[in-house]
Structures are given as C-alpha cells and as structure tokens.
Structure 1
Amino acid sequence: LAIIWFVSQIFRRVHGMLKLYYGLNEEGKTVDQAESMDPCDINGPHFDPEVYLNKLRRECSLGELMDQETCMVKQIRSLDSDMQTLVYENYNKFISATDTIRKMKNDFKKMEDEMDCLSTNMASITDFSARISGTLQDQHAQITKLSGVHTLLRKLQFLFELPARLNKCLELQAYAQAVSSHRRARCVLQQYSHMPSFRGIQDDCHAIMDKLAQELRQKFRDGGSSAKDLSECVELLLQLDEPAEELCDKFLSHAQSRLEADLLGLEAETDILEFIDRGCNEFVSSLCLVIASYQELFVNRPQEGELASKNIPQMAIGKLHAFVDALATRYFSLVERRIQEEKSVGDNSLLVRALDRFHRRLQAVAKLLPGSAVPSQGTEIVVRAARERIKQYLAALQSFYLNSLTDVRQALAAPRLGGSSAGELLSTLSASILNQIKSVLASVHLFTAKDITFSNKPYFKGEFCSHGVRESLVVNFIMFVCQSSRQFCESAGDRGGSTPPALLLLLSRLCLDYETSTITYILTLTDEQFLVQHHSPVTAVTALCGEAREAAQKLLNHYVKVQGLIISQMLRKSVETRDWVNTIEPRNVRAVMKRVVEDTTSIDVQVGLLYEEGVRKAHSSDSSKRTFSVYSSSRQQTRYAPSYTPSAPMDTNLLSNIHKLFSERVEIFSPVEFNKVSVLTGIIKISLKTFLECVRLRTFGRYGLQQIQVDCHYLQMYLWRFVSDENLVHFLLDEIVGSTAHRCLDPAPMEQSVIEVICERG
C-alpha cells in the first residue's frame, strides 16, 4: 500500500507538469470538460490519496492490489518515456529556432545595405531627370509643332500617292487593300474637294474605284471560285456603297446554285448512313456557312449613311428565312424518301445513328438562325421515321408469326413427327415468338438510348413509348395473334377446311398460355424497358387476357366440332351405305367402330400432350359390362315383364320417352373446358348424337338390330374411359339401341352373352 501511495504521488506530480505544458486550466481540465469532484479519481483535481488507499484496501484483495501496482508501474514507465521523447523533440525545435533567428539577423543586415544603395540611386536618377526637363523646356513646343507637321506631310504624301497605289492594287487584284486605302482617304478628299489639287485626286480615285467595282461585279456574277471569295466580293461591294438589296438577291442566288448541286449529289448514295453523312457534311455544312456569311454581310453589319435610314436587316432576315426554308424542304423530301426506302428491319442501329446525326447537325441551323422552322421540321421527320419503323416491325412480327404457323403445319403433317410432338411444337412456337418480340423491343429501344440527341424530346419520352411501342407494336401484335387464330375457325368448312385439327388445338393452348402468363410478362417487360407511364388511356392487361381467352375458347370449341364431325362422317357413311334390312347375322364388330375407338384414343393422346386431365365422376364397377338393348340390358329387364314380346314396339318407345322426361338433358354443343376430359366428352357427344340421328332415318331388320347392339356394346367398352360422366355414354348408346329397335321390322335382340363374346373376340 505504501508503494501504491508513493506511485500515485509521483503520477500526480507528473500529471500536473503535463497540464502546465499543454495549457490546461489549474484544475487540469479544458473548458469543455466537466469537473470531477470524486476524491478517488486519480486524474481529478480533488484526488485524495488516503481516501483512494482506504478504498482499495476495503474493496480489493491482495492479488488485485498487486495487479494495480503492476498497472501503475507500467503507466509510470510509459509516462517517463513520453516525457523523454517530449524533451528531445522540444530540444531539437529550440536548436532549430535558434539557428533560424541567427540566420534572419544576417539576412536583414544584408537587406538593409541593399535598400540604402537603392535609395541613393533613386535620388540620383530623380536629380538627373529634373535637369533634363529644365534644359528641354524651351524646345518642347517647337518639337510638338514639328511632329504635327511631319504627320500632316505623311498624310498628304499618302493622298498624292493614292491613285498610283490603287492602280497597283488593281493590277495585282488586291481588291481588299485598294478598298481599304480608298476608305481611309475618302473623308479627307471629300472635306477638301473644293481645292483643285484634292479634287483631281478625288476624281482619279473615283474612276479607279468604279473600274474596281466593275471587276468585282463581274467576279461576283461568275460565282467566284469558292464561298469565301463570294463573301469577300460582297463585302467589298458593300463597302463601295453598292445596293444591299440587289447584293442580297445575287448572293442567295449563287448560294442556291451551289447547294442544289450538293442535293443532286445526294441521290447517288445508297447506304442510309452514308447518305445522311454526305448530306450533313456537304449540304447542311454549306447551308450553315451561307447563313453565317449572309448574317455577317447583311444582318449584323453596322449600317452607315443612307443604309442606316433603311430597314435593311429586317429585309435581309426575311429573305434568308425564305431561302433556307425552300432549300430545307427539298433536302427533307430527299431524306424522307431515302428513309422510306430503308425497309430492312434486321439492324435498327444504322437507321438510328443516321437519324441522330441528321437531328444533331440541324441544331446548328437553330443556333445560327433563331426562329427557323428547319430544326422542328427535322424533328418531325425523325418522329415520322420512328412511327414508320414501328409499323415495319409490327409487319415483320406478323409475318414471322404466320411463317412460324406454316412451319408448324408442315411439322404436323410430317408422318415422322405425328401428334406426339405437339407439346414440343408449342414450346418451340411460343419461345420463338417471345424471342422475336424481345429482339424487336431491343431494336426499338435504340430510339430512346441516352446517347441519342432526339431521345430527350417529349415525343420519345412519352407518346413513342406508350402509344408507339406498347400500343401500336406490342398490343397490336397480341391482338393480331388472337384475331388470326380466330380466323382459322371462321374460314373452316364443315370438316375444318384445310386447317389441321392439331393446329387448332395447338393454337388454343397458345392463346390460353398468353392469357395466363405471356401477355402479362410481355407488357411488364415493355413497361420496364421503356419506362412507360400510362398518363393517357391504354389497353388494359385484363382486356388483352380476355381477348386471348376468348380466342382459346373459340379454337378449342371448333377443334371439338371438327374432330366430332370427322368421326361423325365415318359413322354416317357406315349407316347410310349399308342395307340394314337384308344384312347377315353379325359375327364381328364392324371395322368402322374399331376405327372410331382408335381415332378417339389418338385424340386423347393428342389432347393430353397440351391439356391437363380434368375431373371425372366416379366410375361404376361394371362400366365395361353395361348393355344397352331394350330387350337384353339389365335396366330394360327390370322395366318389362319376362313375357314381353316384340309385337308391342310402341309400348317400348312409350316407356323410353317417359324415361327421357326424368333424365338430365344432354347438351351436345355445350362450351368445352380447358382440360382433356371435357374435350373428349364433347367429341364423343357429337359423334354419338350423329350416330343416333342416322339410325333414326333408317329401317332395320333382325340382324341389323343385332349388329347395332354389337357395335354399341363395343363402343361402350372403350368410350366410357374418355368422358367425364360414363352415364352420358350409357344414355346416348341406350338411345341408339332403343331407336334401332323402334325402327326394326323384326325386333329380335341378341343374347347378351353372345354380344360379349363377339366384342371380346373383336
């Protein structure tokens, strides 16, 4: 404890010394620090060693006291090291300061000697200048007078030599120098024209300048060798007081001939980028040069004399606007015609780059000629080109879609593929259309790129994105897909025309996929890429999805109708082409019934590749063993007494009709749901209904009735598996057998066991 107390005293003494060094207040704290009143705070001003030691004895163990001692020893050593370092640094700084002060003393002494020398020299110079001024004071006025006389003599010499100088400039064709020399002397000659000598010089100069003006007019009439020479001729003629209006007309006429030659050279270019580059580099650059030269010569030129009283700048500006508008109209017609010839939609970057350069260069005309309609007309051309490009891309998408459908039809017709490839064809068709849409959107997106100058125009930020890309391109293409798909239903004949039924099924699934996900994805992608903000009314996603679902429903309904009519046609021919009165006793199931089952199975596989299974009602345990003859089925045996004889067919028909009153009505052409069971149910309903109606138009013998029994039992053995409710098949086949019995001349049914043997053998 004594050691700790001793160490704390040393630490406190050193701490006080550091406070004095670093400028702390007497309490050892800076102004912004709060005072510590704790007597146990070893760094505080109110530290009491006795209190601190007592606290340590009370609260700390021997080990903690030893640790505290060790910590304080380390702090003392660290503080001692810091103090030594501080002493060394302060000693070095003190030595450096001493050297600096010694050096400054030497430098100031040398500087004082130099300042004394400079002061002496300045005094000597001032005295010498005063003596010179006093000596020349009497001759100053005489010198000034002689200098004025000398200047006048030089001017007179220039005037006397002016005619010869002008003739020399005329011989050397230094027209600018001649006009400049004459303008310098014109005022003096005019002022002293009453003196004969000056009048003679003036007359000679006028004659020479008239000749010079005539040569300039001839050179200007010939057009000069370049636009720069033409501008120099006009400038000199204006300085010679030629009529400004006449010079305006001549200047614009010569400029027009040059610019028309540039326009004629544009027609030879075939590449759109080269066409725009040449037009900008030659025609637009020349037009800007003409505008700048014209304004410098006639508009911004300070007017003097009589010209100052005339409104020459306003007149010149009006002529310039008319001149620029006329030539720009011809140039724009060439540009639009060349843009319309750009029919290829493969690479859109070339056209966008060309339009960007075209629009960028026209901004120079706006800066040179404020108020000109040329830049706005150029922007309208760019807008029309973008709209036309949208139409071309829409036509390209439509053509691609139709070509893809042609490829699908060819693939469906190929024997090596068959119906098993319908799912792959649908995936390929959907993916190819979606990729083509993405490619088109990427190409069109170049019109709104940040590095394109016209992309910041209001049209390309709003209307182009919403109505141009979204509505005119994407929405119109989706509507085209739905409408063209519906046309396969409208243009088909009784048997579907030339449209394969598999194509109807595939398009139905395509439209359904569009309704569920594809349309939303495409429109979301479009809105994200073009940052479409729907300020104006646009086609809603739900409306497009409804259109696609309607098309899918119509296609699927038509597919069911076509497939049902194909099977119905086989059944109708099989009924109409047979003599049912004189037919032989049945030994086998007719081949047409086997064909019906095979085609139905094939349709089931085909539809299953594209649509889900669907919901079926629970099947009874004897579904494949049901019978339908009004004489041999289990249901009919419960209806009639065993003593029933075929002599009372009307009673049978009456009981059948009574049964129908309490049966659920069968809708043959009801809407089809988007699943396999519903599709097959619709096809089988149409087929069996046709079979029933054909039976009602024929007359049957005994064996004809038995053959119908065999055929219906065979159909029942297989068709019940495809429909949603097996009772539907039972009901229709029951109707067929009942109608046959009603139309039979000798209704003697075949035994059920015999029917089952024939069908199982078949």
Structure 2
Amino acid sequence: MEEKKSNSLDIDGQNFNPNLYLEKLFKECSLRQVMDHEAEVVKDTQTLHSDMQTLVYENYNKFISATDTIKKMKTDFKKMETEMDLLASNMDSITSFSDQISTTLQGTRQQISKLSGVHTLLKRLQFLFKLPSTLKNRVEEKNYAQAVQDYLHAQRVLTQYGNMASFKGIQSDCEVILKELKIKLRGKFSNADATAKELAESVDLLLQLDEPARELCMEFLCCAEKRLGEQLVLLRDQSEQRDITEFVDLGCTGFLSDLCLVVASFHDMFINRMNENDDDVENSEIFENFAAKELNSFILQNMKKYFDLVKNKVDSEQDNGDTVVLVNALDRFFRRLQAMNTLCRNVDFSEKGIEIIINAGKRQCKMHLNLLKMHFAESMTKVRQSLNTTKLITQDKDDKNLNELLVSLMMTIVEKIKGVLQDLVAFIQPDVTFAQKAQFRDSFCVDNVREGLIVCFIHHLTATARSFCSNNTMDIKNPPTLMLLLSKFCIDFQTGNIHYLLSKTDELFGINSKGTIALTKESEINTTMQESAQELLNYYVRIQGLNVSQMLRKSVETRDWLHTIEPRTVRAVMKRVVEDIAAIDSTVALLYEDQGNNTEHSSDSSRKTHSISVSRHQYKSNWSTYTPNHLDSTLVSNMHKLFSERIEIFSTVEFNKVSILTGIIKISLKTFMECVRLKTYSKYGLQQIQVDTHYLQLYLWRFVADENLVHFLLDEILGSAVHRCLEPVLMEPSVVDIICERG
C-alpha cells in the first residue's frame, strides 16, 4: 500500500502526477488507444460522481430517520413514566389487601392444612383403587406412556403395602395388565410400519418397567435383522429388472436407509439413554461395550450381504453397460457409504466400497481390452479379405491400396484406443467422489488402464502379428503380402504411435511415468515391436523365397535333362521367376524404400552391355575351368571358394526394399542350385542351364544391393551343372546373348 501511495503514475494514489501520467500514456499508446482510454476515464468519472451523489442521498435519509426516531422516543418515555406511577400505586393497594387477608385467616390456617392433607390421601387411595381400570383403559386407548406413568406413580405404594389384602388384588390386576402392555410394546420391534420415534418410546417404556436392557437390545436387533433381510430379498429380486442406477438408488433408499435408521435408533434407545440414566458408571460402560459390539456385528453381517449384491450387479451390468452411467451409480453408492461412516463411527465401509469400485474399473478395462482385441481381429479379417480379393501388384490404380490399408488399419486402431481412453476418463472426473482416493487412482490408472489395457493391448498386437508366422507352413488364407503389411505396421506403430498412446494415457490419467517404478518402459515395448516386425519380415522373405523356389524346383525335377533338345529360347519358368520377383519388388516398394542401398544402379541398357561382357569373361574362364584337360584349374577354383566369404541364405533382413529382395533371391537361387546338384545333364541340358542362368543374371541384378552375390550364386549353379554333366560343353556367349535377348 505504501508503494501504491508513493507511485506518481497511479491514478488512484495520493501522489498522482497527471503530467507524468499523460506523458507516459502518449509515449506508449497509439492515438486510438489514447481516445479509448479517455472515454474510459470519462466513464469512470461519471460513475464515481453518481456513486458519490447516491452516497450523500443515502446518508441524508439515514440522518432524517435518526432524527424522527429520537423525537418518537421522547414521546414514548413520557407516556411510560405515567404508566409506571400508576403501577406503583396499584402494587401498594395489593400489598395492603394481602396483609388484611393474612391477618383474617391466621386462626384457621392449621385446620385448612389438615383438611388438605386428608383430601390428598383420599385422592391417592381413590387413584389406587381405580388403577387397574385406568391402566386397562390406557392400554385400550394405546396411550401406553400414560399407562406406564400411572403405574410408576403408584408402584412404591403397591410395593410397600402389597402384602395387605386390600392392595394385593390391585397389584395382581396391575401385573396382568402390565404383562399385556409389555407384549404390545415389544410388538413394535417387529412392526415394519413403526417409526423410529415409536420404537424409542417403546424401549424407553420397557426400560422404565425394569425390563433387562441386554435382552431388549438383542430382541431389537433380531427384529431389525428380519426387516433388513426383507429389503435384501427385494433388492435381489429387482436386480435383473432394474439398471445399475435404479438398483443403487433402490438400495440406498431402501436397505441403507433402514440400516441407518436402525443404527440411529439403537444409539438413541440404548447407548445414549443408558449413559444418561445409569448412575453406575461401571455398569454403564460394560453395557455400552456390549451394545457397541453387538451393533457392529449386526452392521457388518448385513453390509456384507449388501456388498455381495452390489458386486454381483456391477459385474453383470458391465458386459453391456454405459461407463458414464456405471460411474454415476458407483459415485452415488460411495457417497452413501461415506454418509454411513459418519453414523457408524466404529466401522469404515469406504475401504470395501473402494474395493468394489476398483474391481468394477478393472472389469471395465478388461471389457474394453476384449473389445479392442475383437476390433483388431475384425480389422485383420478385412485386411486379409482385401488382400485376397484385390490384385495389388498388377494394377496401377490399386498400387495405393496397400498403403491405404496400412494407414486405415493404424488409424482405426489408434482412434479406437483413444475412444476407449476417453470413455474410461469418466472414472477420474473431479466431481466423482471416489476418484479423489489415492488407493483407487493408483490401482485404476496405473495397473488397470496403462498396464492392464494399453500395454496389454500393444503386447496383444505383437503376439497376434507373430502368430501369423509361428508355423513353418504358410496358411493359404494369409497371403504373403499380409506379413509384409504387418511388419510395416509394427515398425510404423513403434515409431509413431507407442509414445503417443503412452503419453496420452499418462496425460489423461495423471500418471507420473518417471516416478512409478512398476511401469512397463517404453523401450521394452519398442523392442518387442521391433522384434515382431523383424520376425514378420524374415518370414515374408522365406515364404516368397520358397514360392519362387517351388517353381524352380518343379522346373528342374520334372524335366528330362539327359534327353533334352538344343536350347533355342529361355524356359518359361525363368521368365515367370523374373516376373514374380518384379511383382514382389513393386509390392515391397509400396511400403519400404531403398534406404539400405547406397549404390546407384546404372540404366538397363548400360547394365545389359556390362552383363554381357562379364558373362563372356566368365564363360571363357568356365571353358578353361570345366574342360577335362584342365583339372588343375578346377582344383584352384574350388580352393578359392573355400576361402571366399560364406553367403548367409537365411540371414536377418533389413527394413528396406533391396534387402528384402536380396533375401528372396538368395533363397530362390540357393534352391535352384541344390536342385541342379541332384540331376545329371546331357550337353544340351547343360546349355539350357547356361541360358537360364544368363537370363536370370540379366534381370536379377537390379533387385539386389550387391550384384556380385547374384553372379556368385549363378556361377555356382552353372558350375554344379557342369560337374553333373556327362558331356560338359558350353555354348558360345554370343549365342547365349542372342537367345536371352530374343527371350
């Protein structure tokens, strides 16, 4: 405040300097802002003037009212003085008359007192003789309280003179009537329509009649047990017919309300009343402990039955229920339990209620997890059907379908997960009472939502993806393209969605991922997803390699290589192999780029010329190697192969197109080579192998990262054929080139 007073730019301060204020305003604000500020100052000034004027008028009115009040008080005080003088004179007259009456009656006072005592005694005797009929009339009129008061009024006399013949009959008649009265008072306990006030009055009257407090206590709880049991039976019968909200409301207004009424009545009738009336402190404490123990046992026994009904209803409702409706019902249930805690101080029902709510949240997460699994299974079925019915690799207009399938699959899964998270956020809304409990938030948010739902579903994605390649045999319902799509799905899901989903979950549910040790780490999930993608891609390469190998194997095994004619063209199976490899290349290119291939291939025309020149050199060396007169050269060549780098046929595939195609080609050519080694060839059979390998060499180089790998394997195939040939004579390379170009 001192700082505000000393500020010369504060328009409300005492040291306000208008010149400095205007100078600062002109310097910092535009013309439009200055005009707006001026209008604002004018408006504030007018408002202040109006307020000051109103304040003056109000104070003036108060002053006038105070003046009128003072004038009126002067008039009233004058009138009051006159009345006080008149009252004083009247009191003097009354005093004098009283003295005269006392003097006159002084002689007969003792006689009047004696007559009054006799009259009182006669009235008591008359009351005693009429007591049985009076009590009977009171009972018939249901005026039980007055009947007890009449009896207690005469009880001391009856007890003292009960041995006298005249009083003995009266006492026996009263005892019979009191016995009937006690039965009717106890009947209030089992009356469902009896109010708490009536019950309290009945217990109070029975206690006044010296009935044992413990016996009354147990009898009251027994009758209350029957009434609450009827409420529980009604609640169980209505469970299937009502939704969760109606069920909770019925339980709160029925069973819980009756239980609270019983507890409150019990405290009023026994514990509180005994503490107030019992002069023996020790006996009072003993009974209080007994009553509290019996009451707690009664409450726990009945609440256990109620909790079982609520748990069964919540479990049955969650299969097809709305989360918001469920949360609202559970919130009402928990609020009522907290209200009961204030009444039943020795028993805490919040823990049991939280346990039921935690189980409900857990089941809700499991239900959503099953829905996510079903949605993913349906999505996979649609993808599989789409891949089986659409020719993605042959039509240009369908080339984008594979990417569209991948994006659609990923987007539907992510959106579905986000929808599930938004649905479960209802459990932790600020207006939900049980959401404020740390026990619930830790269990629900961390264990059920993050770990039990999101992380578990991501593991399900990887497990489902791996299940497609768990067997060595390929299911005809699952096209190889599905493995490729799933591998890309795992890679993209790992890089783009896992961190997003986990962060979204932590943000929505307030989870501190850094402070919680038990959380599954994101790196572990990424590693699992990466391994699944790798396994799927390796499986895709093996399946496609085996498909191409199957064609090559059949083409070798079904041909009579000893009686074949001179080759004039490339075999159709080789053309089919090249076409299939090209088709696979087109399909893979839709999902994977050439990230792993750093070397640029030359154009087709230049590459073909190079291939021919390389082939000529190789074939010339092959003539010199495989002619029977050059066994030493063959030995040297074989020794060189022993020390050359070994080719891994089933090695791990990298996540790029060239590595995938290289793996498929390695498997195919390796199979081709092993099949060639099992056959025996004539001269023309060898030459056909020569033409086929050269054709493959011309077209397969562009699909691999290292073309020397193709040269090496094809050279091995041709070399194996030469070794298995009865007349190893190769064709001229130029003739082979012509045949391949024509093919």
Both proteins in one fold, TM over 0.5? yes
| TM superposition shift of 1:600 | 1.0
Structure 1 residues 459 and 107 mapped into 2: Cα distance closer, same or farther (>3 Å)?
closer
Tell me if the contact between 2:334 and 2:350 (Cα under 8 Å) persists in the aligned partners. yes
Q: Secondary structure of 2:702's match?
A: coil
Tell me if the contact between 2:231 and 2:254 (Cα under 8 Å) persists in the aligned partners. yes
| TM superposition shift of 1:256 | 1.6
Report whether the alignment pairs 1:465 with 2:445: yes
- Name the residue aligned to 1:272: 244
Structure 1 stretch 283-292 or stretch 206-215: which is displaced more? 206-215
Report whether the alignment pairs 1:734 with 2:715: yes
Partners of 1:754 and 1:348 in 2: how far apart?
78
Tell me if the contact between 1:568 and 1:687 (Cα under 8 Å) persists in the aligned partners. yes
From 272, 275, 286, give the equivalent of 2:258.
Answer: 286
Tell me if the contact between 1:449 and 1:455 (Cα under 8 Å) persists in the aligned partners. yes
Partners of 2:632 and 2:476 in 1: how far apart?
45
- Name the residue aligned to 1:7: none
From 492, 499, 514, give the equivalent of 1:520.
Answer: 499
Report matched runs for 1:148-297 at 5 Å.
Answer: 157=123, 160-161=126-127, 163=131, 164-183=133-152, 186=155, 205-217=174-186, 219-220=187-188, 223=191, 225-226=193-194, 228=196, 232-268=201-237, 269-270=239-240, 271-297=243-269
- Name the residue aligned to 2:582: 601
- Name the residue aligned to 1:56: none
Structure 1 residues 351 and 121 mapped into 2: Cα distance closer, same or farther (>3 Å)?
closer
Which one-letter code corresponds to 1:300 in the other structure? N
- Name the residue aligned to 2:599: 617
- Name the residue aligned to 2:52: none
Tell me if the contact between 2:465 and 2:486 (Cα under 8 Å) persists in the aligned partners. yes
Partners of 1:293 and 1:646 in 2: how far apart?
116
Q: Which runs of 5+ in 1 are unaligned?
A: 1-31, 35-92
- Name the residue aligned to 1:322: 297
- Name the residue aligned to 2:617: 634
Structure 1 residues 639 and 700 mapped into 2: Cα distance closer, same or farther (>3 Å)?
closer
Tell me if the contact between 1:581 and 1:701 (Cα under 8 Å) persists in the aligned partners. yes
From 668, 688, 703, give the equivalent of 1:722.
Answer: 703
- Name the residue aligned to 2:648: 667
- Name the residue aligned to 2:431: 451
Partners of 2:118 and 2:408 in 1: how far apart?
100
Report whether the alignment pairs 1:587 with 2:568: yes
Structure 1 stretch 701-710 or stretch 170-179: which is displaced more? 170-179
| Larger CA Rg, structure 1 vs 2 | 1
Partners of 2:700 and 2:729 in 1: how far apart?
26
Partners of 2:741 and 2:122 in 1: how far apart?
141
Partners of 1:458 and 1:469 in 2: how far apart?
15
| TM superposition shift of 1:430 | 0.9
The percentage of counterpart residues that share the same residue type is 45
Q: Secondary structure of 1:489's match?
A: coil
| TM superposition shift of 1:444 | 2.0
- Name the residue aligned to 1:695: 676
Tell me if the contact between 2:611 and 2:698 (Cα under 8 Å) persists in the aligned partners. no
Structure 1 residues 586 and 244 mapped into 2: Cα distance closer, same or farther (>3 Å)?
same
From 401, 404, 407, give the equivalent of 2:376.
Answer: 401
Tell me if the contact between 2:373 and 2:457 (Cα under 8 Å) persists in the aligned partners. yes
From 337, 358, 377, give the equivalent of 1:362.
Answer: 337
Structure 1 stretch 355-364 or stretch 297-306: which is displaced more? 297-306
TM-score w.r.t. the length of structure 1 is 0.78
Question: Could you give the per-residue CA deviations for residues 604-654 of structure 1, whole angstroms, max 9, x where no partner exists?
Answer: 121111112222423357432455899x6224436877xx99333635533
From 328, 347, 351, give the equivalent of 1:376.
Answer: 351
| TM superposition shift of 1:584 | 0.9
Partners of 1:638 and 1:416 in 2: how far apart?
44
Structure 1 residues 686 and 325 mapped into 2: Cα distance closer, same or farther (>3 Å)?
same
Structure 1 residues 187 and 609 mapped into 2: Cα distance closer, same or farther (>3 Å)?
farther
| TM superposition shift of 1:237 | 2.2
Report matched runs for 1:84-123 at 5 Å.
Answer: 118-123=80-85
From 421, 446, 452, give the equivalent of 1:441.
Answer: 421
Report whether the alignment pairs 1:503 with 2:486: no
- Name the residue aligned to 1:432: 412
Tell me if the contact between 2:480 and 2:543 (Cα under 8 Å) persists in the aligned partners. yes
| TM superposition shift of 1:205 | 4.6
Partners of 2:548 and 2:446 in 1: how far apart?
49
Question: Could you give the per-residue CA deviations for residues 529-579 of structure 1, whole angstroms, max 9, x where no partner exists?
Answer: 000023332111111111111111111111111111111111111111111
Partners of 2:114 and 2:339 in 1: how far apart?
52
Which one-letter code corresponds to 2:271 in the other structure? V
| TM superposition shift of 1:207 | 4.7
Partners of 1:152 and 1:757 in 2: how far apart?
157
Which one-letter code corresponds to 2:731 in the other structure? M
| TM superposition shift of 1:302 | 2.9
| TM superposition shift of 1:301 | 1.5
Q: Secondary structure of 1:267's match?
A: helix
Partners of 1:645 and 1:367 in 2: how far apart?
102
| TM superposition shift of 1:130 | 3.1
| TM superposition shift of 1:179 | 2.5
Structure 1 residues 127 and 313 mapped into 2: Cα distance closer, same or farther (>3 Å)?
same
From 509, 514, 518, give the equivalent of 1:537.
Answer: 518
Structure 1 residues 714 and 530 mapped into 2: Cα distance closer, same or farther (>3 Å)?
same
Q: Secondary structure of 2:359's match?
A: helix
| TM superposition shift of 1:437 | 1.1
Aligned alpha-carbon RMSD (Å) = 3.8
| TM superposition shift of 1:333 | 2.0
- Name the residue aligned to 1:66: none
- Name the residue aligned to 1:386: 361
| TM superposition shift of 1:183 | 4.2
Partners of 1:152 and 1:536 in 2: how far apart?
93
Tell me if the contact between 2:318 and 2:363 (Cα under 8 Å) persists in the aligned partners. no
Question: Could you give the per-residue CA deviations for residues 33-67 of structure 1, whole angstroms, max 9, x where no partner exists?
Answer: 99xxxxxxxxxxxxxxxxxxxxxxxxxxxxxxxxx
Q: Secondary structure of 1:538's match?
A: coil
| TM superposition shift of 1:187 | 6.2
Structure 1 residues 110 and 714 mapped into 2: Cα distance closer, same or farther (>3 Å)?
closer
Which one-letter code corresponds to 2:415 in the other structure? N
Tell me if the contact between 1:616 and 1:725 (Cα under 8 Å) persists in the aligned partners. no
| TM superposition shift of 1:471 | 1.2
Question: Could you give the per-residue CA deviations for residues 303-348 of structure 1, whole angstroms, max 9, x where no partner exists?
Answer: 6469873622221221111122222222222222233323525632
Partners of 1:648 and 1:147 in 2: how far apart?
167
Report whether the alignment pairs 1:342 with 2:301: no
| TM superposition shift of 1:490 | 2.0
Report matched runs for 1:60-139 at 5 Å.
Answer: 118-137=80-99, 139=101
Structure 1 residues 756 and 461 mapped into 2: Cα distance closer, same or farther (>3 Å)?
same
Partners of 2:475 and 2:740 in 1: how far apart?
33
Tell me if the contact between 1:430 and 1:510 (Cα under 8 Å) persists in the aligned partners. yes
Structure 1 residues 414 and 138 mapped into 2: Cα distance closer, same or farther (>3 Å)?
farther
Aligned residues: 663
Partners of 1:237 and 1:399 in 2: how far apart?
67
Partners of 1:173 and 1:118 in 2: how far apart?
54
